[in-house]
Chains A and B, each alone.
Chain A
Amino acid sequence: MANNSEKNSPLIMAKIRKDLLSPIVNHKGAGLWMGFLLTGLALFFWGYIIQLKEGLVVTGMRDYVSWGMYIANFVFFVAVSLIGMLLSAVLGLLNIKWVKPITRIAEIIALAFVMIAGLVIIIDMGRPDRFLYIFFHGRLQSPILWDVTVITTYIVISLLLLILPLLPDLGIMKKYMKDDVPKWQWNLYNILSLGWANTPNQYKILHKSVRVLMILIIPVALGIHTVTSWLFASTLRPGWDTTIFGPYFVTGAFVSGVAAVIIAMYFFRNNYKLKYYLTDFHFERMGRLLVLVSLVYLYFNINEFLVPGYKMKTMDAHHLHTIFTGEYAWMFWLTQIFGLILPIIVTITKWGRKPGPLMITSIFVVVGAWFKRYIIVIPTLIHAHLPIQNVPHNFKEYMPTGLEITLTVGTIFMALIIITMLAKLFPILPMWEIAEEEGVDVQKDLLK
């Protein structure tokens, strides 16, 4: 066997190189897709300039609902970014083999979404020029400063966790792609590869460093979403004043993250022709993971809504009636049923874990997850914490304006642009790890 694979190693490597590096060279369809995304980005900037000029009055936000769609969107972005930790660190440290080809997709999604999450906060500021005040006048007693700290840290760790496992691949690309790509692109690979020479010592350092990062990223990722939940839970407002908000956010994040990765896997498998590497088996496993995290999230949902719903404390009751039977009931029940319960039922079946159906289910889950954040942020704010007399009517209800929706969609486009660019510049699957799984002695054969 060893002999056999040793003999076949160059062939295997050649196939992996051909399959994974050709999307970087082959631009068919990419221009159209990027054109679409850039048009969205242009629309975003047009809207943002209006918002900068006029101020936040162009949004639906007023004195009561001062955290609107932007903040709901922020929570969604942070949530999705948690998937990098779950897949590459938790499953990686457990040494689960099937997850290896998926880790880079997860890391790219994590990095793109957490970077845009930080940007969304700035979009939500009426005076973005005052952003730096958080460093001059911030108080460490405030969860907002903890959030800034932990998001920055997570961006750095995610970036490192993306770059480090990329080094051997960059070594390959530096060696084989000199004639295939423009000079600047090859220079980029050359610099980023940090002179990867495939020596045993380099591998030793690489494995050790990745391991350190995998351990570091778990508490940091838990921290990023727990602190985000504390932005809400450290207040006394009904709907937010709950002790399980941290784990409730984290489990919800895993659901949306797993679904987002499944959608990305499906897209790359078809467009990058990676059926050989991203097999039905991978989808079947990701489907199981989706069911698992969804069940945990369902359990937290039951706790989050049944317990206060049973007691109906006066202040809570206002809020709960709004989402159970009132103004937001349709959104609440649609997200719970189509974003959580039905996906669990469908994905429990073997058929539901086939790539096609699983991808469709995942779209429902992601959309549901987005609206779930909307349900968490907005209805609580509609009921004023302290009664005020003669309140203008537009304080008492919130409807996002077209401009607000445009900017929100724009941020999703931005995340997609980052993902597309990273997937266009680098192999979307870790070539050397796949080769290792195929029995290639990477330390010997990788750069042959």
Chain B
Amino acid sequence: MKYKNIISLFALLFATTMLFAQADDWGASDEDKAVQLQVEFNKMNINGGKALFNTHCKACHGELGAGKPILPNATDLGSEEFNKTHTDGLIHYKLINGKGAMPSFQGTISDEEMWKVIAFIRSNYEAYEPPAEIAAPVEASSGGGDMFQGDISKIEFSVDEESGKLSAKVIGKNAEGQSVLAAGVPLEFRVVGYFGDLPLNKDGKTDEKGEINFDFPKDLPSDTAGIIDLYAAIPESAGYGNHQSEIVNAQMGEKLNWIPPLSKRSLWGPMRNIPLWLLFTYLGITGFVWLGIFYVVFQLFKIWMLRER
């Protein structure tokens, strides 16, 4: 009995040690760990990283540096401990591969976006020293030219209902405070929906004239009046902050032929739409029984008519 206890205690200790040893081992090679930040450590990338962090990371890891991860096993990514023990490459490796409850983000966000997230995490760690030079910058997503640096002031959005052409022009302010056409700005055309908006294009960027065009897919359903609500927006992850155009109500798309479910006779509808079989069954049975009752009441009356006078 005693031996058994001691053996099981050792077995338990062994298993626990293994578990902890494993918990730290994500399988990253030294080569992986040596990789440095592959986007510029600037305000725009950090802002973009913040937007991505809020969408993809915060639900488990919680606010950076708050020390209160939502999932008990998740790490506070703003802690000194985390930032000290992790190279840029290791964080990147973990984002790509995932482990256990931490999912892989490959395919969910682009490589460029992963680096932006890392830039954002690092922005919260004062001791971080960004690489002096980007050794191997990630390939920027398709689109024209260099990305506009500065503040966005306006998105002009227009719709040609006839041809189904959507076009947008982005106007920004450069470092000198002059209004310029912003080139190389990622831009999405979106349809307003009940539960979140639907992006129509992917990886689109403005050209040198600050413009971008897109052909509206004609088979997209519009509402019962044939109206569809559209707008153009710069994704927050681009790092410019939150910018979108006015919403345009366009007569486009395939008009939805929607019959409200309550308009037909149904068990769930209002009383006036009661199924006829149910109405007649109810009236038939109830009417028949009450006819019988009235018959008996009439018989009572007849008995009373035969009373002693």
Contact = CB atoms under 8 A, between A and B. Distances in A.
Given A139-B270, A139-B271, A216 B303 contact: no
Interface residues of A, number: 31
Interface in B202-244: none
A140 interface: yes
Contact of A205 (B267, B278, B303): B303
A141 interface: yes
A216 B292 contact: yes
Interface string B115-155: 00000000000000000000000000000000000000000
A206 B289 contact: no
A195 B293 contact: no
A90 to B, nearest CB: 17
B289 A220 contact: yes
Nearest to B275: A141
B267 A195 contact: no
Report which residue of A164, A212, A216 has the largest number of chain B beta carbons within 10 angstroms of its beta carbon.
A216
Contacts, number: 75
Nearest to A220: B289
Given A212-B292, A216-B289, A201 B306 contact: yes
B274 interface: yes
B267 A209 contact: no
A167 B274 CA distance: 43
B293 A156 contact: yes
B299 A205 contact: yes
A137 B272 CA distance: 11
Nearest to B295: A212
Interface residues of B, number: 28
Interface in A126-166: 137-141, 146, 149, 153, 156-157, 160, 163-164
Contacts of B286: 149, 153
A209 B303 CA distance: 11
Interface string A51-88: 00000000000000000000000000000000000000
B307 A195 contact: yes
Contacts of B293: 153, 156-157, 160, 216
Contacts of A213: 292, 296
A199 interface: yes
A3 to B, nearest CB: 30
B125 to A, nearest CB: 34
Contacts of B304: 194-195
B269 A194 contact: no
Contacts of A195: 303-304, 306-308
B15 interface: no
Contacts of A157: 289, 293
B300 interface: yes
A8 to B, nearest CB: 27
B282 A146 contact: yes
B290 interface: yes
A149 B285 CA distance: 11
B26 interface: no
A213 B298 CA distance: 13
A213 B294 CA distance: 11
Given A195-B306, A205-B303, A141 B296 contact: no
Contact of A199 (B269, B274, B306): B306
B271 A140 contact: yes
Interface in A159-198: 160, 163-164, 167, 194-197
Interface string A202-216: 100110110011001
Nearest to A139: B271
B82 interface: no
Contact of A208 (B275, B282, B289, B299): B299
Contact of A141 (B274, B292, B297, B303): B274
Given A149-B286, A216-B289, A139 B274 contact: yes
Contacts of B269: 141
A96 B251 CA distance: 80
B249 to A, nearest CB: 36
Contacts of B299: 205, 208-209
Nearest to B291: A216
B168 to A, nearest CB: 41
A28 B28 CA distance: 97
Nearest to A138: B271
Given A195-B306, A205-B299, A140 B279 contact: yes
A141 B267 contact: yes
Given A212-B292, A219-B289, 8 more contacts: A139-B274, A140-B278, A141-B267, A141-B268, A157-B293, A196-B303, A205-B302, A220-B289
9 contacts: A140-B282, A149-B282, A194-B307, A195-B307, A197-B307, A209-B300, A212-B296, A213-B292, A216-B292
Interface of B: 266-271, 274-275, 278-279, 282, 285-286, 289-290, 292-293, 295-297, 299-300, 302-304, 306-308
Query: Would you list the 5 A-B pairs with minimal beta carbon distance, nearest first?
Result: A195-B307, A194-B304, A209-B299, A197-B308, A216-B292
